[in-house]
Structure 1
Amino acid sequence: MWRRGRMSSITSTVTTMATTTRRRANARRILSTSVPLRPWKTSVVESHGDYRAEAWLEDHVGGDLYRYQADLPMLPVPTLAHTLERLLPTVLPVCRHDEEMESLRQAVDRFPEQASTLQERLLHRQQQHENANSSWLQHWWNTLGYLQVRESVVINVSYFFHLADDPSATTLTQRGAALLTAAAQYRHQVCSGSLAPTVLGRGERAQPLCSAAYKYMFHASRIPRPQQDSYKIYDPARYRHAVVARKGHFYTLNLCGPDHATPYPVATLQAGLERIVAHADAMHAHPPPPQLGWLTTAPRDDWAAARQTLLDTDQQYQRSTVSDALERLESGAVLLCLDDVHAVSRLEMGQLLLHGAGHNRWFDKSVQLVVTENGKAGLIGEHSMMDGMPMVGLADHCTKVTYEQCLRKSPTGTMVPEPTVEPIFNTPEFTQILQDPIVHNLVDQGTCCVAKMDCDDWTGRHAMQSQSFQGYGSQFIKQAGFSPDAFVQMAMQLATYRLWGEQAGTYEATQVRPFRHGRTETTRTVSLESAAFVQRLGLRPQYNEHDAEVRGEKLRLLRDAVQAHVRYIGAAAQAQGVDRHFFGLSMLVADGEKAPDLYAHPAFVRAKRWRVSTSHLTHPKIVNWGYGEVVPDGVGLSYSIHPRHCVFNVTALKETGWAEKLCTLLEESLLELRTLIEMDQAPPSSKL
């Protein structure tokens, strides 16, 4: 079970991802609920992976959030010549002998003629009227990259953010109530369109980013279907509740008042959470509940069949018990998971968020907020229709809204109204459904039971390591004249080269949201320059390189590799990478047609087999974040570059031992590069 998609890269800190204007605008709106929510023409929209089908919601909601949408440029189609020119330096380093290099060059030379018709078809697709306000790529990418993937979403698709502690919220319900307050505020901004759009840069160089993905943040859930899942989003003007999970029990808790806009006071939400904890803990003293959350960890076709089995009982009993329960769960603004664990370390939280407590999750939910007994918190994102950058905005807001602030800003009389709490599955009607022989077998012995065992096995096969490198951070790297992101990428290249004795396909996800309905492009880290750099530094570190000429050569190679990476990521951010182009061309090979020879070349295949899946996010209040590996013999490597330290999170199969080894090699590589730079900058010692 491995993910085919990859989270969008965030190659700058949250403080530089948007203009100061946006931050100030959102600060003014933070508690504003003056903008009403306009009811949709239907209570629920079911998406099948095509952003165009829900684009009407952008016009319906309107507001600042979507004001640039109509003016965003279309995703371009690169020329064949440009793509091949950029491709070759990324594949040559992974060739294993001269004959393979020569055959690769020949396949590249033949490609323009073999792919000319495919390129014409792709250009035609881009220029079709129905794609005039969309992207030629998005429907393919959303479906093949996510909704058609049949493996479990656990580790394969979901990602996590570990949020910084709130010193004023040290208990489960305090932190949970503060997070719900923050989520309710951000929900209103998104759903009313009053959230300021993200704009990169300033002045004439300002680039507004596509806001389409925000529609799938709140009141949203992935729905298991045979062969291809769908995504449901519910009208926030009709639904105002969150879902809360505790010990495998699920409840609804209203977030805001009858206007569907004004959040309830934090004390009201906390009282509701305390009632939920008391009820769930009391229920758990009896025979264990049907832990239906495990179903969402199953392979998608298995979960789809189990869901249909549950829904079929409605017809049998001539009622809507199951469909109503699932709707209440799927339509919740967010899911708050109250976990009965005390997590302390960064690693413990990472493991809990990525794959822990499957009974107390509903992995289909777009947003899951997780809180531990001692007030630790994090966020789990479902990746199908929305990449990481929009979720960073929610995480940012959640870290800014503290429990103490909520209490201070709450009106006098904090227990008005009485919190409304309702169980979803613990009802007499649903209990009767669970006694049905078919359903009872499904829950106790069938799909639900198997899903738990399979998930336990799958997660148990994984190892995670989280490392905070205290040697230096972006401040030192900038002073040395390097791009922090590209510099760390080269350190990771050196570390993985030493881990495996060769370079492997390395992916840094890069967002292309300056384009309408753009998601991501691949930045390939392997290059002729990075190959020369890692080969010169070798498989063993040399911390004291006294030969000035050798030091100069190594630093020159490092600088060349960094600059090559900067050039590539700059092109990728403008949708001028190679991987989405090759993907689009391959999609247009008709039945019975032969694909261009290049697609089957071993080096081409090897270079795009992402053994190192990387992504960069730096935020002062995101302690750690991560995801799983893309291929079984690979690693998932997320990282943050703070001014004085770096954080890495590595996920890999336990049997490889690579997670721990790679963290050691990363530290070794970073220290070696620092020593190299410092020795070169030091004045020559005087001779007596």
Structure 2
Amino acid sequence: MAEAHQAVAFQFTITPEGIDLQLSYQALNQIYLSGVRSWKKRVSRMRNRVIKGVYPASPSSWLFVAIGILATIYMQSDPSMGLIAEIQQRLPLSLHVSLSAQGQTMVSALVFSTLLWLSLILALRFCLKLLLSYHQWMFEQHGRVSNTTKVWVTLLRLLSGRKPLLYSYQTSLPHLPVPAVRDTLTRYLESVRPLLTDPEYKRMTDLANEFESSLGNRLQRYLKLKALWATNYVSDWWEEYIYLRGRGPIMVNSNYYGMDFLYVTPTSVQAARAGNTITALLLYRRMVNREELTPSRVPGTVIPLCAAQCERMFNTTRTPGVETDVLQHWQDSEFVAVYSRGRYYRLWVYRAGRLLSAREIEHQIQWILDDPSPPLPGEEKLGALTAGDRVPWAQIRKEHFSSGVNKRSLDIIEKAAFFVTLDDEAQGMKGDDPTGNLDRYAKSLLHGKCYDRWFDKSFSIVIYKNGKSGLNAEHSWADAPTVAHLWEYTLATDAFQLGYTEDGHCKGEVDRSLPPPHRLSWEIPSEVQDQIFSSLTLAKALADDVDCHVFPFRDFGKGKIKKLRVSPDAFIQISLQLAYFRDRGSFCLTYEASMTRLFREGRTETVRSCSNQSCAFVKALEGGEGADQCKRLFRQASEKHQNLYRMAMTGAGIDRHLFCLYVVSKYLGVDSPFLKEVLSEPWRLSTSQTPVQQMELFDLKNHPDFVSLGGGFGPVADDGYGVSYIIVGEDMINFHVSSKHSCGETDSHRFGAQIAKALQDIMAVLSADTASSSKGPAQPQSKKLL
């Protein structure tokens, strides 16, 4: 095989004259160049450690401190107040012998300068951490900024003036605070009040009071102890117990998807789209490895967000276990795993330390597409093991994939930078049935054929036959904003930076000496094939039950909403409450994901969007109340929602605190009827906004068709809805709705129609008298504050 010959650096034979050594200079040159690339990466990582280790100062600032100290000594002044002389006395005897008195003074001064410099760095870092712990700015309205916040903004800008690396802020981010038990219980009872009858609310209040007076404070002490010791008191337990310990399928239940552009496909050539997409992803990985990405910030501000989730973006796989899965991350890999028509390949994307061009990767992908070889027995549907229950997959993996050819092939997939599926179907909106096509497109990305994705990989890229693309992401390692940032860069780089030739192929030249991709080998016995069939049967039943509906809402967008001085997110969330009430005739516990990345290793918190205020507005609107009354109630509901969102972002949420208290109770072996009931409450309406974080990458003014469709996820409750939405530009909101066919009370298309009508009806109410509406309370403008 060609790749076997490429792997041989030298050969030797035994001759009568001795050993005949035959060196392959080409292969040795490849080894040398690969080694150079490896050492360059090591040097780069070492340099980055130094730069971020001294942030917000710079390494060169040491020179200024040292020169300043030496200058004062030259002027016969002692800025150290005797410390330099003390250091000089404690120098090693060898320096006393070899150096003159002046030399000893200089060495002592440099030691003092270094200690002073390090002390200043620690002081600056401490000040930056204090500044980043201030969150009152988020609760202030535009035009009413306090003097404290103005001073805080100035100081934060001064300390953040130097260009940071991706992880420069990590050690300066504050730790997530542990709320008081009483505060959390008060907020919880307020959140469930509109969902309970008076007797039910009294019962829940009694349970909460009993918990606070007995077990609550005991659990809280353990939690505070963890908060002192751990970087984040929530994230490790959240990752383990919510994601990794789940024993059911991660397909649909956990993994989520991201879509391509709505209206355009840059090329219809499948191999070319794969070439540019893979290249863009690898360029992003290079920036992550070199820490060249600008740290994410609160939109429109200088306030940094935690970047820890970027660390496991590439070269990461969730490996199954009997009791719990494990996230495995490798430092680097020079290949990707590719699936095409039932066959698996390893595609090398580097050669001699050089990243292959997009045109070369296209050439390699086309070779895979043209490969006529059939799948090996059991190979075609092997990926179904990652779509079924975790325990059978863990057992099969241990018994049949822990040695030999199966282990080598599985290692290649799991250690790959990411997974690529060359789908043999065409997807997208175009065609005779654009609405149905979008729905089928979403289902394809969410679960595919249940065996043509590797759901354990941190993310899998899907390239369709007609050039459309998308991704499927595993959830345990990171949340949607991190993946969305990657996908935004990929789409923009593919379309606007790399580009295509007139006939739809990637730009660049091809090195014809490149070895072809390596076809993976498998030896899959009958018992493994039986388990593949069982996992596939379970996964297909789950996939067939999902009802997906994707629709762009074009009547208006955030531009018109903001003219009414209303938060677009609050507007949409209250519209979802109205839509659900019309759809089901009642209110439900509603989950909206909010980030806590203002804190180190922060992930998400729940915004309980169904509030007393939102329910009062919905009842008033449905009850035929006057426009003025509805407007007043809507303003109250909007302000309440914004306040709930801010509290969740600043560590004063409800659900993560209660979740951690529950975990502590399980470790202690004590039962809490209150926590047990709270943690078992179903989220019948689970919602999430996909943020657009890099609008500078997309020129929507000159290229209005290059708008993102966003992404979505499966329903959380069997009798509920999953709703994801992305606010695109000023005039469009794209929605992704999911539910289950097996529930007779839910219908994704019906609910989608209710969402559109709710948006229109609320806009009609608020726009009835624009003049009076504009006199309402101003929306907090945190984006304009900084």
On whether the aligned pair clears a TM of 0.5, the verdict is yes
- Secondary structure at 1:633 match in 2: coil
Match of 1:15 in 2: none
1:23-58 per-position Cα deviation (integer Å, ceiling 9, x unaligned): xxxxxxxxxx999422999xxxxxxxxxxxxx99x9
In structure 2, what is the Cα distance between the partners aligned to 1:418 and 1:366? Answer: 32
Alignment match of 1:665 (pick from 754, 759, 777):
754
- Matched ranges for 1:163-202 at <5 A: 163-164=260-261, 167-200=265-298
Alignment match of 2:396 (pick from 297, 306, 312):
306
Q: Is 1:206 equivalent to 2:302 in the alignment?
A: yes
Q: Is 1:121 equivalent to 2:222 in the alignment?
A: yes
Q: Is 1:415 equivalent to 2:507 in the alignment?
A: no
In structure 2, what is the Cα distance between the partners aligned to 1:295 and 1:590? Answer: 31
- Matched ranges for 1:275-424 at <5 A: 275-279=367-371, 282-284=372-374, 289-311=379-401, 314=403, 320-345=404-429, 346-402=438-494, 405-406=497-498, 414-416=509-511, 418-424=513-519
Match of 1:636 in 2: 722
Alignment match of 2:763 (pick from 669, 674, 677):
674
Partner amino acid for 1:208? P
- Secondary structure at 2:598 match in 1: coil
In structure 1, what is the Cα distance between the partners aligned to 2:554 and 2:266? Answer: 27
Change (3 A) 1:452 1:674: same
In structure 2, what is the Cα distance between the partners aligned to 1:168 and 1:530? Answer: 43
- Matched ranges for 1:166-565 at <5 A: 167-200=265-298, 206-236=302-332, 239-259=333-353, 262-279=354-371, 282-284=372-374, 289-311=379-401, 314=403, 320-345=404-429, 346-402=438-494, 405-406=497-498, 414-416=509-511, 418-425=513-520, 427=521, 430=522, 433-434=523-524, 439-443=525-529, 446-538=530-622, 550-565=626-641
TM score, norm. by length of structure 2: 0.71
1:622-672 per-position Cα deviation (integer Å, ceiling 9, x unaligned): 213100111211111101223212211111111334212111111121111
- Secondary structure at 1:232 match in 2: strand
| Range 155-164 or range 530-539, more displaced | 530-539
Change (3 A) 1:161 1:240: same
User: How far did 1:168 drift?
Assistant: 3.8
**Structure 1: gaps (5+ residues):** 1-32, 42-54, 315-319, 543-548, 684-688
Change (3 A) 1:364 1:270: same
- Secondary structure at 1:507 match in 2: strand
Match of 1:107 in 2: 207
In structure 2, what is the Cα distance between the partners aligned to 1:73 and 1:577? Answer: 16
- Secondary structure at 2:42 match in 1: coil
Whether contact under 8 Å (1:247, 1:359) holds in the other structure is: no
User: How far did 1:250 drift?
Assistant: 1.2
Match of 2:178 in 1: 77
Report which structure shows greater RCO (CA 8 Å, sep ≥6).
1
- Secondary structure at 2:653 match in 1: coil
Change (3 A) 1:591 1:275: closer
User: How far did 1:287 drift?
Assistant: 7.8
Compare CA radii of gyration and give the structure with the larger one: 2
Partner amino acid for 2:288? V
User: How far did 1:404 drift?
Assistant: 7.4
Whether contact under 8 Å (1:40, 1:235) holds in the other structure is: no
In structure 2, what is the Cα distance between the partners aligned to 1:550 and 1:383? Answer: 45
User: How far did 1:593 drift?
Assistant: 5.8
In structure 2, what is the Cα distance between the partners aligned to 1:417 and 1:559? Answer: 65
1:207-228 per-position Cα deviation (integer Å, ceiling 9, x unaligned): 2111211121111111011110
Whether contact under 8 Å (1:35, 1:194) holds in the other structure is: no
Whether contact under 8 Å (2:383, 2:453) holds in the other structure is: yes
Change (3 A) 1:116 1:331: same
- Secondary structure at 2:637 match in 1: helix
Aligned residues: 595
Change (3 A) 1:232 1:285: closer
In structure 2, what is the Cα distance between the partners aligned to 1:356 and 1:149? Answer: 21
| Range 156-165 or range 265-274, more displaced | 156-165
Provide the identity percentage: 26
- Secondary structure at 1:199 match in 2: coil
User: How far did 1:417 drift?
Assistant: 5.8
Partner amino acid for 2:221? E
Match of 1:3 in 2: none
| Range 614-623 or range 182-191, more displaced | 614-623
In structure 1, what is the Cα distance between the partners aligned to 2:515 and 2:43? Answer: 23
Change (3 A) 1:502 1:322: same
User: How far did 1:402 drift?
Assistant: 2.7
User: How far did 1:122 drift?
Assistant: 0.9
Change (3 A) 1:286 1:332: closer
User: How far did 1:374 drift?
Assistant: 0.9
User: How far did 1:412 drift?
Assistant: 9.4
- Secondary structure at 2:166 match in 1: helix
Q: Is 1:577 equivalent to 2:653 in the alignment?
A: yes
Match of 2:233 in 1: 136
| Range 409-418 or range 246-255, more displaced | 409-418
In structure 2, what is the Cα distance between the partners aligned to 1:198 and 1:70? Answer: 15
Q: Is 1:653 equivalent to 2:748 in the alignment?
A: no
1:107-150 per-position Cα deviation (integer Å, ceiling 9, x unaligned): 3333332211111111111112xx1xx11112211110101001
In structure 1, what is the Cα distance between the partners aligned to 2:766 and 2:370? Answer: 58
Partner amino acid for 2:528? L
In structure 1, what is the Cα distance between the partners aligned to 2:507 and 2:419? Answer: 28
| Range 348-357 or range 63-72, more displaced | 63-72
In structure 1, what is the Cα distance between the partners aligned to 2:219 and 2:405? Answer: 50
Change (3 A) 1:514 1:35: farther
In structure 1, what is the Cα distance between the partners aligned to 2:472 and 2:674? Answer: 38
Alignment match of 2:189 (pick from 81, 88, 111):
88
Whether contact under 8 Å (2:605, 2:656) holds in the other structure is: yes
In structure 1, what is the Cα distance between the partners aligned to 2:39 and 2:629? Answer: 60
In structure 2, what is the Cα distance between the partners aligned to 1:375 and 1:677? Answer: 43
Partner amino acid for 2:596? V
Change (3 A) 1:418 1:592: same
**Structure 2: gaps (5+ residues):** 1-36, 54-58, 60-163, 430-437, 693-697, 699-706, 773-786
TM score, norm. by length of structure 1: 0.81
User: How far did 1:421 drift?
Assistant: 3.5
Whether contact under 8 Å (1:72, 1:516) holds in the other structure is: yes
In structure 2, what is the Cα distance between the partners aligned to 1:102 and 1:375? Answer: 58
Whether contact under 8 Å (1:177, 1:403) holds in the other structure is: no
Whether contact under 8 Å (1:152, 1:300) holds in the other structure is: yes
In structure 2, what is the Cα distance between the partners aligned to 1:300 and 1:417? Answer: 43
User: How far did 1:420 drift?
Assistant: 3.7
User: How far did 1:596 drift?
Assistant: 4.4
User: How far did 1:674 drift?
Assistant: 1.8
Partner amino acid for 1:194? E
In structure 1, what is the Cα distance between the partners aligned to 2:367 and 2:732? Answer: 42
- Secondary structure at 1:580 match in 2: helix
In structure 2, what is the Cα distance between the partners aligned to 1:413 and 1:479? Answer: 47
